[in-house]
Every structure is written in C-alpha cells, then in structure tokens.
Amino acid sequence: MLRLHDTLDYRAREHPASDFAIHGERSCSYAEALKSANRLANALVDEGLQLGDRVAYLSKNSIEHVLFYYAASKAGVVPVPLNYRLAPPEWSFILNDAQAKLLVAQPEFAGPLASVRDELGSLKRFLSVNGEVPGWESYEAFAASGSEQAPARHVTSDADVYQMYTSGTTGRPKGAMLQQRAVGAQLHQATMAFGGKPGERTLIVAPLYHAAAAICTFCSVQTGGTLFIQEDFVPAEAVRALSEERIRMALLVPAMIQFCLGAVPDVAERSYDDLELIIYGASPISEQVLRRALEVFECDFLQAYGMTETTAAATYLFPDDHRRALAGRSDLLLSAGRSILGTEIRIVDEEDRPLPAGTIGEVAIRGPQLMRGYWNRPEASEESLRGGWMHTGDAGILDDEGYLFIQDRVKDMIVSGGENVYPREIEEVLFQHPGVADAAVIGIPDERWGEAVKAIVVRQEGHDVSGDDILDFCRGKLGGYKQPRSVDFIDALPRNPTGKVLKKDLREPYWKGHDRRVG
C-alpha cells in the first residue's frame, strides 16, 4: 500500500516545475515542496522524535500546514491537527491526551495558548509559524535545518499517518488513529470519483484540520494538481477564486455555498468556465439552494457522507444522482448516496442484526478506510468497531437501490456550518451555572448553518437566570461554533422511565415542516 508521501515523491520527480500550491502572493513548485518536506522530516528525526510520536499543528490554512502532513509521513511521526475554533482548555486536553512532543502554531493563537501553557507537560518545543512570538522558536528556522535528502526512516503502511480528534457523547474528544493504509485506500476511492489531471487547480478553503479538507488536499497531490489555498473562508474571495483562478474542483460545506450565493452581489454575473466539480458534505443541501448553485456555477455536484473514523467518506451522492434528483427524483436530495468503492453499508438493530431495506436502525460501515481505533481508548474502540464495522451513531434507512437516508442521530450530534457539535460537551458547561437545575442541548433548523445550537434549561429554584446570562456564561468556555445561539426555559425536561432525556420530543416542535432532520 502506498504511503501518503509516496505521491509527493512521484509527482516531484515527474513534474518538478509544476505548481504544488499557491497561497496569496506565494507559490511553491513540486520540486520545492519535496525539498521542504524532506528538510522538515529530517529536522523532526534530528529532534529525536521516534516512529509514532505525536506532533501538533494549530493554524489556519497555509502551504506549511499541507507540507507538515507530508513531512510527518516521511518521518513516521503523527500530526495532530488542532481545530483553531476551540477554546484553550479544549486545546489543552487534546495536547495532553495525545502526549504531543512538539507544537507548531500561528502567532494569533500563541496568546490564547499562554493561558494553558503551564498545563502542557509533554510538549518540548513551541514553534511559531509565519510570524515571531516572544518565547517561541522559529518554525521556519527549525524546518530549514534538516537535509534535503529523503530521511532514513522506514515507514510501513500500518503506521499511523495522522490523528484527528472527534468528540463523543461523554463530552471528551477522542483521537481517531488513521493508518497509512486507510488514507491510501480513501485516496484511491476519492480520486476515482473526483478525477483530476496534473496542473488542474483545487480550491482549499475548508479548514485543513478537517478530515474532508485533508483528503481533498491529498487528492490534488495524488493527481499532480495544484492547491489554491485560502487561509479562511471569505465568501467574496472564494467566489473570485472560483471564477478567476482556473479552479477545477472545490470542497464547500452547504453553509459556504449558501454564503457564496447570498453574500456576493455579482455571483450570478460571473463565469466559472474551469469549474467542473463542487464537493459538499457534513450537512444536507436544500433543493432550492442546490438548484440555484447549479444555475450559477454550472458544474457538477457531489455529496460525501462519512466521519473522521472512516478517514472521511463512506458514501457519495454522485453528479448523476443529483441530475436524476432534479429530473424528478427529488427525494434523492435527502439521501447521502450509496457506498463508495470497497465499502459496505448496513443498517443494524440494537443487537447488531442486519435490518431489511426500508427499516430504520444504526448505520454501520465496513471498508478499508476505517480508523485503527481511538488513541488510548480501547473500550471505546472495541465498542465502535465491534465486528469489524464502524458503528456511526447515526440512525438511517437503506432503500432497495442502496441509497442511504439519514433519519436522526443515535448520539444526538448536531452539525452546524459543517462542524460536528456534541451536546454533552455544552451541557457539562451549562450544569456549572448556579442558576441551572437541568439542561439539554439540541440542534434546530437554521437556514444559514443547517442547524443551530439551542439550550433548553430548567431554572434552579430561587434563581431568575435569563437567556443572556446563559449565553454570556458559555463564552470563553467553548469554541465559538459550539456556543448556544438561543435559550428556551421549561419547567421540566421530558424523560423516559430510566431517566434519559427524550431529545426527540424536545426537537419535534422546531423541526415541524422540515423534511430532513439531520445532516
């Protein structure tokens, strides 16, 4: 099985002068990318990092962020990309859980990190990338210190290539360990679906800490393409790139597509002659938005469904499926598509017995792209991967043609703007407020974000806490996208005889009239 860095080596040999990546005024050829990756890989080895050691990266999108993945693969160390939208205590937990030995961060995150730096016992070096920070070393100096030759490390396809953190119902993030073989399988699955040729450009605007953005990035390199990197999503800049920068393919979550259509006045007047494919995922797209996007961008659309634990995708709703939907099978737009190459999807009951078509149950996935397990979580790994199937926590239905329809979340996860939000994490913060006797968090429909986070609160007797009080209390304790957007108060939460909160009952009034209950 190929390793992640093998394609960079190959493309640099075959197309050394071709553009590897463009970011603002900067560009980097494949030959330069290979030299930089080798230097950084050797610097990591010279640092004394061993095979399997964890190294963390906290940054918005950049050329350095991409090269970090490839250099780490060459050195056999394991990147832990951090979500820059999290709060410092959340970064602290992940860094300590992973036992990261080295941290690379953009200067803007050094200040927030200072509040938890004393807690980070495993970290030996703090490196600032793309700017100086007092008390931090220069990433650029560190990365340039190694040899340009390939490092003398033998990395097998069983090695972990990165570790991405995904939360769970316990409220504590878990590190999904992705092996070289799993990522290699996913790249083969994806490139068969996405296509691509040397020199064609892919817009990278979704954050590189995200599983889907990482895979789209690696797919571009797999085909010898050029990464057109934007540091962050700015609708007008994304639209300008799609129309003026010869972009062939882009990954955009539905909220991004909606922003592009609604916030850029001349979006419909522009031409998108080179744009062939927009990939979307993490939440559904409404028929109205899709029809408008097809009219404006005049390209194919592909939906991907999966999770970090499946490297990224397990099903695709292909462009032909979208055309079929718009030609009369509009129900297909509510589908997550069908299983991708080498992947099996089945619906199971509470005892893991397969259910027939049309019956709702838990979605289980088997394929070569599954994670190895959760870092230092053997029980959670065994539970999630029991029988060799990844149990997603999503409730769904398979139809007679194999199309998957997600109905609800077994684990009540919320998807807001393409980000996974786990209610339990927020509920634990709410319970810290002295005026809260009981609380539950649900996702409610939101035109812009797909779902918005709502807190349902029971007041503590004798406390006249307001919704604004609750919202203020959550600020700084949670990443911005996890913060409740609204608060409702009730006398008591509905519970079943065993005491479990009936979140379906809480959600029902807000979802009346909406076809799709989840992303």
Confidence tier at 422 by pLDDT (50, 70, 90): confident
Q: Residue 289 and residue 282: Cα distance in Å, rounded? A: 16
Is residue 516 pLDDT above 60, yes or no? no
CATH architecture of 414-511: 2-Layer Sandwich (3.30)
Give per-residue pLDDT as tens, 376-407.
999 999 999 999 999 998 888 999 999 999 87
Indicate the length of the chain as a whole number: 519
Q: Pull the structure tokens for residue 454.
A: 């709502």
Average pLDDT for the chain: 92
Q: Residue 6 and residue 326: Cα distance in Å, rounded? A: 40
Amino acid present at 373: G
Confidence tier at 283 by pLDDT (50, 70, 90): low
Q: What is the pLDDT of residue 169?
A: 43
Cβ atoms of 502 and 494 closer than 8 Å: yes
Q: What is the pLDDT of residue 408?
A: 64
CATH architecture of 4-315: 3-Layer(aba) Sandwich (3.40)
Is residue 168 pLDDT above 80, yes or no? no
Residue 437 DSSP SS3: strand
Confidence tier at 427 by pLDDT (50, 70, 90): confident
Q: Pull the structure tokens for residue 166.
A: 């995904």
Confidence tier at 450 by pLDDT (50, 70, 90): confident
Q: Where is average pLDDT lowest: 102-106, 194-198, 328-332?
A: 328-332
Is residue 411 pLDDT above 70, yes or no? no
Give per-residue pLDDT as tens, 100-143.
999 999 999 999 999 999 999 999 999 999 999 999 999 999 99
Confidence tier at 519 by pLDDT (50, 70, 90): very low
Cβ atoms of 227 and 203 closer than 8 Å: no
Q: Residue 158 and residue 287: Cα distance in Å, rounded? A: 42
User: Could you tell me the residue ranges of all domains in the chain?
Assistant: 4-315, 414-511
Q: Residue 511 and residue 508: Cα distance in Å, rounded? A: 5
Share of the chain above pLDDT 70, in %: 96
Q: Where is average pLDDT lowest: 52-56, 244-248, 371-375, 436-440?
A: 436-440
The structure's pTM equals 0.85
Give per-residue pLDDT as tens, 299-318.
999 999 999 999 999 999 99
Give per-residue pLDDT as tens, 141-154.
999 999 999 999 99
Is residue 37 pLDDT above 90, yes or no? yes
Q: What is the pLDDT of residue 284?
A: 62
